[in-house]
């Protein structure tokens, strides 16, 4: 059976929706991985700062090295936070795109459902007309018979 243009539109919209769902899922995973990295870096910084507190007085060169490491860790955390936020924004856009694709697919499916419903109503009416015509013909035949017999 040949597919109607509407059916082809629905199939296309469904593929687009599925692609958007895959992209949205991938974007959510990217955000989760970035958050895990950020959590790991923050944990390192927390542990490092806790370790620094336990070392009361240390020599100056070692203290500078530890401060440098702390600064670099802070920069890495800031960069990872920016990256996570950018990925989160992207994931939100992908989710919005998914919702739009789903809305479009639903609109096409609604049109198809309405058309199918109208088609069934027309068929029912045509069947009813046909049945009414047959009943009217039978009634006319019955009404003619007694007149023919007299």
The DSSP line for 13-25 is HHHHHHHHHHHHH
In this structure, what CATH number is given to the domain that contains residue 62?
1.10.287.1700
105-149 pLDDT, tens digit each: 999 999 999 999 999 999 999 999 999 999 999 999 888 876 556
Examine residue 62 and state whether it is found in any structural domain, yes or no.
yes
23 has a pLDDT exceeding 90: yes
Band of pLDDT at residue 61, cut at 50, 70 and 90: confident
63 has a pLDDT exceeding 80: no
Examine residue 105 and state whether it is found in any structural domain, yes or no.
yes
Instruction: Give the total number of structural domains in the chain.
Output: 1
Examine residue 140 and state whether it is found in any structural domain, yes or no.
no
Alpha-carbon radius of gyration of the chain = 36
Phi, psi of 4 (to 5 degrees): -75, 160
- In this prediction the pTM is 0.72
């Amino acid at each position: 059976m040949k597919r109607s243009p509407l059916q082809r539109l629905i199939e296309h919209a469904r593929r687009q929706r599925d692609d958007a769902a895959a992209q949205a899922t991938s974007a959510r995973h990217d955000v989760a991985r970035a958050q895990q990295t950020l959590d790991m870096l923050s944990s390192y910084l927390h542990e490092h700062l806790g370790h620094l507190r336990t070392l009361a007085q240390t020599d100056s060169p070692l203290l500078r090295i530890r401060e440098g490491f702390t600064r670099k860790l802070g920069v890495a955390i800031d960069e990872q936070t920016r990256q996570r936020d950018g990925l989160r924004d992207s994931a939100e856009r992908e989710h919005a795109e998914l919702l739009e694709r789903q809305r479009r697919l639903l609109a096409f499916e609604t049109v198809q459902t309405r058309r199918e419903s109208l088609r069934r109503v027309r068929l029912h009416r045509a069947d009813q007309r046909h049945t009414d015509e047959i009943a009217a013909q039978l009634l006319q035949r019955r009404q003619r018979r007694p007149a023919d017999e007299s």
